[in-house]
Structure 1
Amino acid sequence: MRVTADLWVSALLRRVFAAGGFAAVVKRGAAEAGAVFVLSRGRLGETTLFGPAPQTSYDSAKPDERYFTVIGAGEDTDSLEARLEREKRFDPDIWVVEIEAGAVPVEELISVRMP
C-alpha cells in the first residue's frame, strides 16, 4: 500500500530540516493521492524542478516508493514557475514543495530516475 501524499510530504520536510536545509509547502494538493512536484533552490541561485517519474520508471520490487525525474534544471526561474502554473491548471490536486537542501544533495532526499 502506498503512503498518502500528505504523509510523504511531511516526511520529506522532516528529512530536509534534519539535514540542515529549509522546506516549505507552496501548494497543498489532495491529501490521499496528489502528484508531488519538488522545486529545489541551491544556495548559489540554481533551480531544479522535479516531477513524478513516468510509470515505466517504477521498480516492481519497490512498488510503494515515489520516484521523480528532472523536469527543468538551471533554467530561468520564471520558466519553471510557468511550468508549475500549467501543471496546476491541468491537475489542481498537485503538491508543490520548495526546498533548499542544505548539506545533503537533493538526490539523497528523493529518489530520482533519469529518463
Structure 2
Amino acid sequence: MRVTTDLWVSALLRRVFSAGGFAAVVKRGATEAGAVFVLARGRMGEIALFGPAPQTSYDSAKPDDRFFSLLGAGDDAAVFDARLEREKKFDPDIWVVEIEAGAVPVEELISVKSL
C-alpha cells in the first residue's frame, strides 16, 4: 500500500532537516495522492526541478515507491516557476516542495530515475 502524499512529504522534510538542509512546502496539494515536484536549490544559486518519473520507471516488484526524474537544471528561477505554473494549471492537486539539501546530494533524499 502506498503511503499518502502528505505523509511522504512530511518524511522528506524530516530527511532534509536531519541531513542539515532546509525544506519548505511551497504548494500543498491533495493529501491522499497529489503529484510531488521537488525544487532543489544549491548554495551557489543552481536550481534543479524534479518531477514524477514516467510509469515505465516503476518496477512491478516495488510498485509503491515514488520515483522522480530530472525535469531541468540551471540558474534561472523564472523558467522553473513558469513550468510549475503550467503543471498547476494541468493538475491543481500537485505538491511543490523546495529544498536546500546542504552537504547531502538530492539523489540521497529522493529516488531519481534517469529517462
Q: Shorter-chain TM-score: what band?
A: over 0.9
1:68-107 to 2 correspondence within 5 Å?
Answer: 68-107=68-107
Pair 1:21-2:21 in alignment: yes
| Structure 1 unmatched runs, 5+ | none
Across the two proteins, how many residue pairs are aligned to each other?
115
Which residue matches 1:109?
109
TM-score of the superposition, structure 1-length normalised? 0.98
| Structure 2 unmatched runs, 5+ | none
Provide the C-alpha distance between the structure 1 equivalents of 2:105 and 2:62, rounded to a whole number of angstroms. 22
Which residue matches 1:41?
41
Structure 1 runs of 4+ with >2 Å offset: none
Which residue matches 1:63?
63
Provide the C-alpha distance between the structure 2 equivalents of 1:50 and 1:71, rounded to a whole number of angstroms. 5
Q: Deviation per CA, 1:8-64: give whole Å up to 9, x if none.
A: 000000000000000000000000000000000000000000000000000112111
Counterpart of 1:64 in 2: which secondary structure?
A: coil
Identical counterparts, % of pairs? 81
Provide the alpha-carbon RMSD of the alignment.
0.7
Which residue matches 1:12?
12
